[in-house]
Amino acid sequence: MEPPPLHADQWEYVRTLLPPDLEESAKTLNALVRCRNVPDAAALMRMALAYAVSDLSLKDVAAWASSLELAAISGPGLFYRLREAESWLAHVLGQVLQAQVNRNPMKWPLRVVDATVINGPGPVSVHWRAHVLVDPGTGGFRAVELTGDEGGEKFGRHILQAGEVVLGDRGYATARGVHAVRMAKADVLVRMNPVTLRMCDEQRKRIHLERRERKVPKIGGVEFNVMIPVPPPPTKSRKTWDSGKAIAWIPARAIAGRTRSGEVIWVLTTLTPSALPATSALELYRFRWQIELLFKRLKSLLHFDTLPSRQGPTAKSWMLARLLAAALAQQLVQPSGPLSPWGYQMPSPELYA
């Protein structure tokens, strides 16, 4: 079946899923200072989404908008508008994701963090990274930050709430990252490499857990109580820092188990044994796979890895608009409240009591 043309979409329905203050935020964030060739913020958003989710060029989207009498704009004019709309698109994306925040029905509100690479045309292997926070209960993302290839993976990029448990892979197993989570009164469950993460016993003496892997059983898990020293701010000196200069000490548990092939897997958690036994920690870590499934959906269904321009002024706006389209799609899959056929929030049942 032929896909419907862009002019046959249900824009009025999509519009009900966007924040009501679209016009005000566009003017406040300088996305629509003058309405000379674009009548309003809704028209600009419609063109941004059309450019992000289709294979049309800026010139083609401008021609499509003109044919619908949506906006009297040229390709270069749309280029300028999207370049100036970067902050506004990020703001609207944040509003849409905030409206979808819900509490996980599990024992704790779980969150998973990871990053994925976004490549565009050209010889450079990496230029953009999307740092994403996912709710594994729904499979949808709740926050995202776009950085260049210099942006490293770290827990501190995301705002966590007290009581949440955040899962991460080995790239997030750093003392500063765990400290950032604990400062937010949240907990971590992260896979780690005991060789690269400095750990001490409860008397704050250095220990090497990799030497204790022979104690790991074939079935089940084994755990060790550890203290994580948090290093002082980095300096230009490359000398190994002294644990006595640690700015904080974090009590944690290092838990090890074996895969079917016999490989030892280490995870680190700040949850207590009564809250999360060792075997349960190893099972809970499997929820991290939800973020890999999200990345697969973004890249296979929305073609998030087909960046049309690697370093162009509209590259970030294109990514933000495509992420906004993904956020609207997950709103339809798992709405935060009852929706009528056209997307309007239905009145509360109490009104009819």
pLDDT one-digit tens code per residue, 245-278: 899 999 999 999 888 888 899 999 999 999 999 8
Residue 299 covered by a domain: no
pLDDT at 340 over 50: no
Residue 349 covered by a domain: no
Largest CA distance in the chain: 74
161 and 285: one domain? yes
51 and 199: one domain? no
Here the CATH number for the domain that contains residue 143 is 3.90.350.10
Residue 340 covered by a domain: no
82 and 12: one domain? yes
Q: Indicate the pLDDT class of residue 347, thresholds 50, 70 and 90.
A: very low
Among the listed residues 263, 257, 187, the one whose alpha carbon sits nearest the alpha carbon of residue 223 = 257
Total number of domains constituting the chain: 2
314 and 283: one domain? no
Q: What single letter denotes the amino acid at residue 90?
A: A
Residue 343 covered by a domain: no
Residue 132 covered by a domain: yes
Residue 351 covered by a domain: no
Q: Can you tell me the mean pLDDT for 286-302? A: 83
88 and 183: one domain? no
Residue 245 covered by a domain: yes
pLDDT at 185 over 90: yes
Residue-number span of the structural domain to which 122 is assigned? 100-234+241-292
- What whole-number distance in Å separates Cα of residue 41 and Cα of residue 49? 12
12 and 141: one domain? no
19 and 30: one domain? yes
Q: Can you tell me the mean pLDDT for 201-224? A: 88
106 and 225: one domain? yes
Residue 246 covered by a domain: yes
- The pLDDT score that the predictor gives to residue 311 is 64
Q: Can you tell me the mean pLDDT for 41-59? A: 90
154 and 10: one domain? no
160 and 207: one domain? yes
- The pLDDT score that the predictor gives to residue 242 is 85
16 and 112: one domain? no
Q: Can you tell me the mean pLDDT for 318-338? A: 77
163 and 127: one domain? yes
